[in-house]
Amino acid sequence: MRNTIISLYQPSHLAGLIPTMQGCVERTAETIQLTVEGDFDFSDLALKLATDVIGQAAFGVDFALSAPPQSERDGGGEAAEFVAEHVHSTTSLKMDLSGSLSIVLGLVAPALQAPARWLLRRIPGTADRRIARTNERLRARVEEIVASRERDGDRRRGQRDFLSALLNARDGSAKMRELLTPEYVGALTYEHLLAGSATTAFTLSSAVYLVAGHPEVEAKLLAEVDRSVPSAAPAADDLQHEFPYLDQIIKEAMRFYTVSPLIARETSQQVTVGGYALPSGAWVWLAPGVMAMDAAQFPDPGEFRPERFEAGCEEERRRHQYAHVPFGLGPRACVGQRFALQELKLAMVHLYRRYVFRRSPRMESPPELQFGIVLSFRHGVWLRAVERRSAA
Ligand code: HEM
What is the CA 164 to chain-centroid distance, rounded? 22
More confident residue, 171 or 333: 333
Residue 384 CA to ligand 1 centre (angstroms): 30
Which residue, judged by its Cα, is nearest atom 43 of ligand 1?
334
Please give the pLDDT value at position 88.
64
55 lines ligand 1 (CB under 6 A): no
Residue 338 has pLDDT above 50, yes or no: yes
For each of the domains in the chain, give its residue range(s) and CATH number, in order of start: 2-226+337-391 (1.10.630.10)
Burial class from Cβ neighbours inside 10 Å (0-12, 13-18, 19+) for residue 310 reads middle
Residue 392: the pLDDT is 47
Greatest mean pLDDT among 70-79, 141-150, 251-260, 278-287 lies in 251-260
Provide the pLDDT for residue 131: 73
**262-297 CB burial, b ≥16 within 10 A, e <16:** ebeeeeeeeeeeeeeeeeeeeeeebebbebbeeeeb
Q: Does residue 390 have a pLDDT over 60? A: no
Alpha carbon of 358 to ligand 1 centroid (Å): 30
CB distance 375 to ligand 1 below 6 Å: no
pLDDT score for 108: 65
Rounded distance from Cα 9 to ligand 1 centre (Å): 12
Nearest-atom index, ligand 1, CA of 341: 1
Closest by CA to 46, choosing from 63, 26, 66, 61, is 66
How many residues does the structure list for the chain?
392
Concatenate the DSSP letters of all residues of 160-175 into one string.
-SHHHHHHHHHHH-HH
Q: Is 80 exceeded by the pLDDT of residue 239?
A: yes
What single string gives the DSSP state of each residue in 320-342? -TTS--TT--STTS-TTHHHHHH
Task: Output the 3-class SS for 9-37.
Answer: CCHHHHHHCHHHHHHHHHHHHHHHHCCCC
Cα distances (Å, whole numbers) of residue 104 to 30, 99, 263, 363, 368: 41, 8, 15, 29, 20
pLDDT at residue 253 is higher than 90:
yes
Neighbours of 41 (CB within 10 A): 19
225, with CB counted inside 10 A (0-12, 13-18, 19+), is buried
- What is d(CA 328, CA 243) in angstroms, rounded to the nearest whole number? 23
pLDDT at 129 over 90: no
pLDDT at 6 exceeding the cut of 90: no
373 lines ligand 1 (CB under 6 A): no
- How many A from CA of 93 to the centre of ligand 1? 16
pLDDT confidence of residue 87 = 64
Q: Is 348 in the pocket of ligand 1 (CB under 6 A)?
A: no
User: Which of 49-63, 143-157, 199-213, 373-387 comes out lowest in average pLDDT?
Assistant: 143-157
Residue of the CA atom closest to atom 7 of ligand 1? 327
Residue 44: which of 363, 377, 386 has the closest Cα? Answer: 377
Q: What percent of the chain has pLDDT over 90?
A: 49
Q: How far apart are CA 283 and CA 286, in angstroms?
A: 10
Indicate if ligand 1 lies below 6 Å from the C-beta of 333: yes
Ligand 1 near 383 CB (within 6 A): no
Is the C-beta atom of 339 inside 6 A of ligand 1?
yes
For ligand 1, say whether the CB of 326 is within 6 Å of any of its atoms: yes
Average pLDDT score over the chain: 85
pLDDT of residue 133: 77
Q: Is the dihedral of CA 109, 89, 62, 183 positive or negative?
A: positive
**Residue closest by Cα to atom 38 of ligand 1:** 334
Alpha helix segments (H runs only) across the chain: 2-7, 11-16, 18-33, 42-54, 76-91, 101-108, 110-120, 127-151, 153-156, 162-172, 174-179, 182-212, 215-227, 236-241, 244-256, 288-291, 314-318, 337-354, 388-391
Confidence of residue 132 (pLDDT cuts 50, 70, 90): confident
The pLDDT of residue 139 is 72
Q: What is the pTM of this model?
A: 0.87
Query: With bands split at pLDDT 50, 70 and 90, how would you rate the model's confidence at 5?
Result: low
Work out the average pLDDT over 216-230.
94
- What residue's CA is closest to ligand 1, atom 27? 196
Q: Which atom of ligand 1 is nearest to the CA of 54?
A: 30
Among 10, 205, 327, which is best to mutate for testing ligand 1, by the most ligand atoms less than 8 A from CB?
A: 327
- 386 CA distance to ligand 1 middle (Å): 33
Instruction: Please give the number of the atom of ligand 1 that sits closest to the Cα of 191.
Output: 35
Ligand 1 and 258: CB distance under 6 A: no
| Spatial separation of the C-alpha atoms in residues 340 and 335, rounded to whole Å | 10
Quick one: pLDDT at residue 313? 96
- Mean pLDDT across the stretch 65-82? 62
User: Which is higher by pLDDT, 179 or 245?
Assistant: 245
Q: What is the pLDDT of residue 75?
A: 46
Average pLDDT of span 344-353 = 97
pLDDT at 74: 46
Q: What is the CA radius of gyration of the chain?
A: 22
| Nearest in space to 65 (alpha carbons), one of 162, 201, 187 | 201
Q: What integer is the mean pLDDT of 61-83?
A: 66
Q: Which of 29-38, 87-96, 316-325 has the lowest mean pLDDT?
A: 87-96
> First-to-last CA distance in the chain?
52
For residue 276, give the H/E element and its range: strand 276-278
DSSP bridge pairs for 263: 286
Distance 8 CA to ligand 1 centre (A): 14
pLDDT of residue 83: 65
Query: Of all residues in the chain, what percent carry a pLDDT higher than 70?
Result: 85
Determine whether the shortest distance from the Cβ of 327 to ligand 1 is under 6 A: yes
pLDDT digits (tens, 9 = 90+) for 301-315: 999 999 999 999 999
330 alpha carbon – ligand 1 mean position (Å): 12
